[in-house]
Amino acid sequence: MNPASPLPPASVSLDLDNLWAYLKTHGDPEWERRPSFLPTAVPRLLELLGENGVATTVFVVGADAEREDGAKAVAEITAAGHEVANHSYGHEPWLHRYSRRQLENELVRTENAIVAAGAPRPVGFRGPGYSVSRMLLKLLIERGYAYDASTLPTWIGPLARAYHNRGTTATEGSRGREDLFGGFSRVAAPIHPYRWGDSDLVELPVTTMPLARVPIHGSYLLWLHGLAPKAAKAYFAAALRLCRARGVAPSLLLHPTDVLDGAEAPGMEFFPGMTVPGARKAELLGWVLAALRRHYEVVGTGEHVRRLRAAGLDRARGLDRCGPGR
């Protein structure tokens, strides 16, 4: 805990998934044109975070960091004081199917692109679609990563997958959609942070509601908000009460689509909440961040992990329990 703050730490992170990545997973061949909404999303997100006094961690896709608009985004994010972390190179949510060589390529190419764009070499990783494997964790350990943030301890993955895949077309770019978001077994994963085996690699789960194990991240809240705005706020407030009661230091996840509407993300009509104006989305996220800051000192995931280690993180989990894959 920061001696200057009486509040316990919590973290906010952002997966900088680009328009092409959503279209690719959905099976839309337009993804091959690599359409981008980063020039619209990144300034809006940085403004929102700045207005709320929140330092965060942004998980960046290597293929974007190599492009002009992605490299510019990395530079702007770094200049604003946020951590940049690794979100794979090709943003394929089935990394658990990859060989060691493929995984190493994903890590190294993204590390190089992030450094070339002006950010420090990343020490944190999150797999797209919460995809992780034993081999991936071993590589993170070998490469000196401080933490992984790829687990979402919930039972709702198969339901989210069915919703996401409805009406989609199978393509080479979407060949692993049947594994998207994991299975029901993920509900058994710890909600508290822990170390992997006897290594120093920390797992910082994306927080789900304690006991109920349902998501509380930005996209899910915005979906609820579209159904019933007051209920969405009550839902998040209840999640924070449960986190405090159960001793869970939340790690909240955001995405660019949390501040964009359908006109700014063409082709994403399939995604929940895209009919909601971007300004209304940003207003809700501002309320969420303010609610989080009332009870916690909000930092990025890297700083969150550093403080957990300093406080003495004694929970551990065997690498063989990370789920499917190599």
Residue 3 lies in a domain: no
Residue 2 lies in a domain: no
pLDDT tens digit sequence for 185-214: 566 889 999 999 999 999 999 999 999 999
Distance CA 14, CA 170 (A): 28
The total number of structural domains that make up the chain: 1
Q: What is the pLDDT of residue 322?
A: 80
Residue 166 lies in a domain: yes
Tokens of 242: 């449960």
| Pairing, β 9-15 against β 297-299 | parallel
Residue 163 lies in a domain: yes
Q: What is the pLDDT of residue 163?
A: 45
Of 30-44, 70-84, 269-283, the one with minimum mean pLDDT is: 269-283
Which residue range forms the structural domain that includes residue 103? Answer: 9-321
Region 164-170 average pLDDT: 51
Q: What is the pLDDT of residue 115?
A: 99
Burial class of residue 152 (count of CB atoms within 10 Å of its CB; 0-12, 13-18, 19+): buried
User: Using alpha carbons only, what angle is made at residue 222 by residues 219 and 225, rounded to the nearest 5 degrees?
Assistant: 155
Residue 182 lies in a domain: yes
Residue 326 lies in a domain: no
Region 168-182 average pLDDT: 50
Region 10-39 average pLDDT: 97
Exposed e or buried b for every residue in 87-97, given b needs 16+ CB within 10 A? bbbbbbbbbbe
Region 28-52 average pLDDT: 98
Check whether 73 has a pLDDT greater than 60: yes
DSSP state, residue 208: B
Stated pTM of the model = 0.91
Check whether 323 has a pLDDT greater than 70: no
Residue 309 lies in a domain: yes
Check whether 266 has a pLDDT greater than 50: yes
Residue 1 lies in a domain: no
> Residue 89: which CATH number?
3.20.20.370
Region 234-257 average pLDDT: 97
3-state secondary structure of 20: helix
